[in-house]
Amino acid sequence: MFDHFLNKAAELLAKNEPFVTALVVRFQAPISGKPGDKAIIYADGKMWGWIGGGCAQPAVIKEALKALADGQPRLVRISPDGAPEDGIIDYTMTCHSGGSLDIYIEPVLPKPHILILGRSPVAQTLARLGKAIGYRVSAAAPGADHKQFPDVDFLQTELNLDGLRITSDTFIVVSTQGENDEEALEQAAKSSASYIAFVASKVKAEKVGEYLRREGVSSERVSQIRAPAGLDLRATLPEEIAVSILAEVVQLKSERARPSSDPKKTVSVTVLPVLGPPVSGHQPASHHEVRDPVCGMTVNIAVAKYKSEHRGSSVYFCCARCKQAFDLEPEKYSLPLSSSNLSV
């Protein structure tokens, strides 16, 4: 299992995809998870691996998605009493298994990606600085070579970006400075990047912006281009301008990872309850979930194995024991028809 876990993590790292590792570090019997059990949680809430079944998985996935959002690791305890303790996030054990689990959760975030269009002195300096702080750096420019960009992760000698993987987390810096300004900025504007900076004066940026609008780029998209590029550090030298751009990228990266001001706010997740041993591959998240009226566990009605009819509606359960308990005394667990567990 350990080799498979490392291979899966290496695979995601190679793809530059964000994920979270979850490791059981302590347990108190009886419970299915044991120290050393581990899992990977994807950004979409799916889980690969095993950290215990029952109520452990919804809690772990919820905290994993929060960890991806704020970039911070955490220690989660799932126990019957849910006693608060400094440094530990407590969840009350609601299922029948009993026992408790301590699970360490750590996000693995992809390195920020700076895509530089152009081969100007600012572009070359920015590439060096970006690599120096551990970012992924790509460069694209006609006539560019490895002497100009010796350390970049990827170098392309044309401005066509169709073959590059660009996401909303890619930081594009256009530093052509007279060489194919319009073509480079048009390629950047038509990408999905949320950050585009143009190394140019305001006057030049306005003129190139007019060109982009005539080429069909929306005014809204043009207005998103940052020009002059970088923080206002009163930079004049190419090296100083490169520092100001990198400083802005670092600032924006930190702002995106800043945790919510409301510490009690939770991330809504949907989880497929797993009642058996670990499986290889994904455990898919659902899009419609309800609560088991007996134990309180989240149940995905699309794949729920146990359900009963009550007052003309369907009631869903996480396991046979909960269904049995409900069927024996339905009024004890009876919920109003407005309950989220009842499906007509």
- pLDDT per residue over 282-310, tens digit each? 344 444 678 788 877 777 787 778 899 98
Same domain assignment for residues 149 and 221? yes
Residue numbers of the domain that contains 304: 289-343
Phi-psi region at 126: left, alpha or beta (left = phi > 0; alpha = psi -120 to 50): alpha
Q: How far apart are CA 298 and CA 305, in angstroms?
A: 13
Q: Mark whether 12 and 85 lie in a shared domain.
A: yes
In a domain, 169, yes or no: yes
Q: Identify whether residues 8 and 96 lie together within a single domain.
A: yes
pLDDT at 97: 60
Q: Are residues 95 and 192 in the same domain?
A: no
User: Best-predicted range by mean pLDDT among 186-195, 250-259, 326-335?
Assistant: 186-195
The angle formed by the CA atoms of residues 139, 241 and 222, to the nearest 5 degrees, is: 65
Residue 279, amino acid: V
Angle between helices 238-257 and 121-132 (to 10 degrees): 40
CB atoms within 10 A of CB 173: 30
Q: Is residue 137 part of a domain?
A: yes
Q: What is the pLDDT of residue 86?
A: 82
> Looking at the domain assignment, is residue 249 inside a domain?
no
Which pLDDT band holds residue 212 (cuts at 50, 70, 90)?
A: very high
236: which 2 tokens? 């004049």
Of 179, 202, 229, which residue sits at a domain end? 229
150 within a domain of the structure (yes/no): yes
Question: Do the beta carbons of residue 219 and residue 194 sit within 8 Å?
Answer: no
What's the total number of domains in the chain? 3
Which residue, 61, 84, 108, sits at the end of a domain?
108
* Burial of residue 134, with CB atoms counted within 10 A of its CB: 0-12 exposed, 13-18 middle, 19 or more buried: exposed
Quick check: 206 pLDDT over 70?
Answer: yes
Whether the per-residue pLDDT at 270 is higher than 60: the answer is no
* The pLDDT of residue 340 is above 80: no
Considering the domain architecture, whether residues 180 and 155 belong to the same structural domain is answered as yes
Determine the average pLDDT of the residues in 51-64.
83
Q: Are strands 47-49 and 136-140 parallel, antiparallel or unpaired?
A: unpaired
What distance in Å separates the CA atoms of residue 193 and residue 172, rounded to the nearest whole number? 7
Q: Residue 41: pLDDT above 80?
A: yes
Does any domain span residue 259? Answer: no
Same domain, yes or no: 101 and 132: no
Q: Is 222 in the same domain as 118?
A: yes
Reported confidence tier of residue 232, pLDDT bands at 50, 70, 90: very high
Q: 204 is written with which tokens? A: 């030049």
Assess whether 97 and 122 both reside in one domain: no
| pLDDT-derived band at 338, boundaries 50, 70, 90 | very low
Instruction: Using pLDDT thresholds of 50, 70 and 90, give the confidence band for residue 225.
Output: very high
Span 24-43, average pLDDT = 86
3 three-class SS? helix
Mean pLDDT of 328-343: 65
| DSSP string computed for 232-249 | -S---SHHHHHHHHHHHH
Q: Would you say residue 278 has pLDDT above 80?
A: no
| Residue 291: closest CA among 301, 283, 278, 302 | 301
Which residue's entry shows tokens 């300004």? 181
In this structure, are 41 and 101 located in the same domain? yes
261 found inside a domain = no
CB 290 within 8 A of CB 301: yes
Q: Integer distance in angstroms from the first to the last C-alpha of the chain?
A: 43
**Minimum mean pLDDT range among 26-30, 248-252, 266-270:** 266-270
pLDDT, position 1: 60
In this predicted structure, the answer to whether residue 260 has a pLDDT above a threshold of 90 is no
Run of H or E residues at 76: strand 74-79
pTM of the predicted structure, to 2 decimals: 0.62
Q: Are residue 89 and residue 148 in the same domain, yes or no?
A: no
Q: Give CA angle at 56 (74, 325), nearest 5°.
A: 150
Q: Is 91:82 a contact under the CB 8 Å cutoff? A: yes
Separation between Cα atoms, residue 292 and residue 340, nearest integer Å = 10
Q: Of 328, 324, 335, nearest to 293 (Cα)?
A: 335
In terms of domains, do 87 and 123 share one?
no
Asked, for residue 281, whether it belongs to a domain, the answer is no
Please give the pLDDT value at position 335. Answer: 56
Q: Which of 229, 244, 270 represents a domain boundary (last residue)?
A: 229
In-domain check, residue 235: no
224: domain CATH number is 3.40.50.720
In one letter, which amino acid is 126? L
Nearest of 193, 97, 190, 114 to residue 149 by alpha carbon = 114
Mean per-residue pLDDT of the chain: 83
DSSP reduced 3-state for 180? coil
Contact call for residues 234 and 264 (beta carbons, < 8 A)? no
Give kind and range of the element (H or E) at residue 307: strand 306-310
pLDDT of 180 above 80 = yes
Assess whether 67 and 165 both reside in one domain: no
Higher pLDDT, 89 or 93: 89
